[in-house]
Structure 1
Amino acid sequence: MSGIVFFATQNHDAVVDFYVETVGADVWLEQPDCTVLKHGNLLVGFCARDRTDDEGIVTILADDRAGVDAYHERVGAAATEDPHVEKTYDIYRFLARDPDGRTVEFQTFLDPEHSV
């Protein structure tokens, strides 16, 4: 299965810049009012609208804990917590907010079988 998750955004340019410049995503497709980004096997689209979809979480996977720590450093003040182990899910992660206030999770699986 493959697909794209789309979000309405009031801050299209700032949101796209955040994911491209800070997170490291690439522009995969540019449409008249939507930009589809690719990061690894994630395709996510942001469409300019008069409202923001801020339900759910965009999760960015890192190869290891060092990768999560590097993301934490890169997002700076956008981070809402420090990286930590979440034992329930056997992950190392932290949360941040994109320019629209959407929750972004940066994580790695601690079980090597599920690493990216």
Structure 2
Amino acid sequence: MSGIVFFRTERHDSVVEFYTETVGAEVWLEQPDCTVLKHGNMLFGFCDRDATDDCGILTFVYDSRAEVDEMHATVGDAAREEPHENERYDIYQFFADDPDGRTVEFQAFLHPVDL
């Protein structure tokens, strides 16, 4: 079984470009006004609408701190903060904003987790 999380967006093309060109997601399915993306085992879609869903957080999980640091450099000015350890959740992380202002998190678990 699998699932897809969909978001309404007023900036379809720039949002899809951010997730494909910057984050490294792949287009999984094109529909008339929706694009479904795939990043690892995560499927998420953006549908061109008159309003934007900006609730929730899209979290991308990496295997190492180095990969999180690399993503921090890649997202550039979209990053809200420097990567740092979050002891409460045992992760290394930072938050950024996508072109719609949606919260995006990049993280690595500090201790191996079977995903």
- Regarding TM over 0.5, the answer is yes
Matches of 2:56 and 2:50, distance apart in 1: 19
Matches of 1:73 and 1:61, distance apart in 2: 16
Amino acid paired to 2:16: V
Q: How much does 1:111 deviate?
A: 1.1
Q: Which runs of 5 or more structure 2 residues have no equivalent in the other structure? A: none
Q: Which runs of 5 or more structure 1 residues have no equivalent in the other structure? A: none
Matches of 1:115 and 1:72, distance apart in 2: 24
1:73-109 per-residue CA deviation (whole Å, 9 max, x = no partner) reads 0000000000000011000000000000000000011
> The residue matched to 1:82 in structure 2 has which SS?
coil
Matches of 1:37 and 1:60, distance apart in 2: 13
Q: How much does 1:115 deviate?
A: 5.8
> The residue matched to 2:32 in structure 1 has which SS?
coil
Which residue of 2 is the match for residue 85 of structure 1? Answer: 85
Which residue of 2 is the match for residue 56 of structure 1? Answer: 56
> The residue matched to 2:3 in structure 1 has which SS?
coil
What TM-score does the superposition give when structure 1 sets the normalisation length? 0.97
Q: How much does 1:22 deviate?
A: 0.2
Residues paired across the two proteins, number: 115
Matches within 5 A, 1:6-85: 6-85=6-85
Matches of 1:47 and 1:71, distance apart in 2: 25
Amino acid paired to 1:35: T
Cα RMSD between the aligned structures?
Answer: 0.9
Moved runs in structure 1, 4+ residues, more than 2 A? Answer: none
Amino acid paired to 2:34: C
Contact 1:59 / 1:104 at 8 angstroms: preserved in 2?
A: yes
Amino acid paired to 2:29: L
